[in-house]
């Protein structure tokens, strides 16, 4: 299987919102679409899914047009969109039916995902009772509360728990292509780790994932290939490891026991930040870094940390789009 996005284009009047976007996934993994707000990420995703008409280009899955009728797709939208006044279970079963999942199988899968996402108490009377009632409660009281249990509505849940329900909707059909638009936005650290664990499991199953996110550390954790969009255009794309290697090891984290600023200036390195004898430095390469280290040792300045590394994705992103947005 493969996914090919070729020359996608979208305009609104005289404004171009996506300009000639192309990328390809030849094998399972995670591809990241990155960009500032308004760069065209969500518009690109909606065109890929056929939710928005394309002004140009095509999207191919396995050599044919990507269509939800022929490709099992799971989509977690950035804008959360549950129906606020309908029961969560009814909505989950409805979306499962839309994706062609038989009701009995859908109920079995929902039990699994509710447990994985720690959302059982919002969907099932037994779980709600266990969450609310002490162990010593009488059987009579339990039966009474079971009869009184009312399925939860979407607007009774926090945003994070609504996100869990929508993640369940995205996964209910066991999709082969999963598109996650800001999947971790608004989650607390515990639920962030919960979502990450599920994403890792889907990767291990050989799924194709496209992720749009502002959280660069998360992208580095999961994604092998990226496209950075800026004002509708791709300004950088390719394999993340190759991109980082192309920059070289130019970022230096230095910590000393004495002031090292004069030695940093003397060797011509760029001092980015300084706090209590701890420095973030941009060097031209390993030769300049070693020159600085030699100068510190010769001067008798104790070195605690000397970490020369490739730039992070955050730093690359800021370099590619930051200057233009500061104009």
Indicate the pTM of the whole model.
0.83
**Per-chain mean pLDDT for the chain:** 89
Q: What is the pLDDT of residue 82?
A: 86
Joined tokens for residue 127? 């779980």
User: Are the C-beta atoms of 93 and 106 separated by less than 8 Å?
Assistant: yes
> Is pLDDT above 70 for 108?
yes
Q: What is the pLDDT of residue 24?
A: 95
Burial class (CB in 10 A: 0-12, 13-18, 19+), 320: middle
311-327 per-position pLDDT tens digit: 999 989 998 887 555 44
CA 33 to chain centre: 9
Q: What is the mean pLDDT of residues 81-97?
A: 89
> Is pLDDT above 70 for 45?
yes
What is d(CA 133, CA 126) in angstroms, rounded to the nearest whole number? 10
Closest among 184, 179, 225 to 202, alpha carbons compared: 179
Joined tokens for residue 132? 């609310």
Vertex 198 angle, CA 194 and 204, to 5°: 145
What is d(CA 62, CA 37) in angstroms, rounded to the nearest whole number? 31
287-296 long-range Cβ contacts below 8 angstroms, 24+ apart? 289/249, 289/252, 291/267, 292/252, 292/254, 292/263, 292/264, 292/267, 295/263, 295/266, 295/267, 296/256, 296/260, 296/263
Q: What is the mean pLDDT of residues 68-97?
A: 88
Sole residue written with tokens 């509360």: 145
User: Are the C-beta atoms of 66 and 48 separated by less than 8 Å?
Assistant: yes
SS (HEC) of 134-192? CCCCCHHHHHHHHHHCCCCEHHHCCHHHHHHHHHHHHHCCCCCEEEEECCCCCCCHHHH
In residues, how long is the chain? 327
């Amino acid at each position: 299987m493969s996914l090919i996005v070729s020359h996608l284009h979208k305009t609104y009047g005289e404004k171009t919102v996506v300009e000639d976007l192309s990328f390809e996934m030849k094998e399972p993994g995670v591809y990241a679409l990155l960009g500032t707000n308004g760069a065209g990420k969500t518009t690109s995703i909606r065109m890929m899914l056929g939710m928005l008409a394309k002004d140009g280009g095509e999207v191919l899955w396995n050599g044919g047009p990507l269509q939800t009728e022929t490709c099992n797709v799971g989509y977690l939208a950035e804008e959360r969109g549950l129906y606020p006044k309908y029961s969560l279970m009814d909505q989950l079963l409805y979306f499962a039916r839309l994706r062609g999942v038989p009701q009995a199988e859908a109920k079995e899968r929902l039990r699994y995902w509710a447990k994985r996402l720690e959302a059982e108490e919002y969907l099932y009377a037994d779980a709600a009772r266990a969450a609310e009632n002490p162990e010593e409660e009488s059987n009579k009281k339990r039966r009474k509360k079971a009869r009184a249990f009312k399925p939860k509505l979407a607007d009774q849940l926090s945003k994070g728990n609504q996100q869990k329900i929508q993640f369940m909707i995205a996964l209910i059909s066991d999709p082969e292509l999963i598109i996650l638009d800001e999947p971790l936005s608004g989650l607390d650290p515990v639920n962030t780790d919960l979502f990450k664990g599920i994403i890792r499991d889907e990767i291990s199953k050989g799924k194709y994932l496209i992720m749009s996110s502002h959280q660069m550390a998360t992208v580095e954790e999961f994604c092998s290939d990226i496209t950075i969009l800026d004002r509708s255009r791709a300004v950088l794309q390719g394999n993340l490891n190759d991109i980082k290697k192309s920059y070289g090891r130019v970022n230096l984290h230095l910590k000393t026991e004495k002031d090292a600023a004069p030695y940093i200036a003397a060797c011509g390195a760029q001092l980015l930040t300084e706090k209590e004898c701890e420095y973030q430095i941009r060097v031209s390469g390993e030769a300049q870094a070693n020159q600085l280290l030699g100068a510190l040792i010769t001067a008798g300045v104790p070195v605690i940390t000397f970490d020369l590394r490739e730039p992070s994705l955050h730093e690359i992103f800021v370099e590619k789009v930051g200057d233009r947005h500061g104009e």
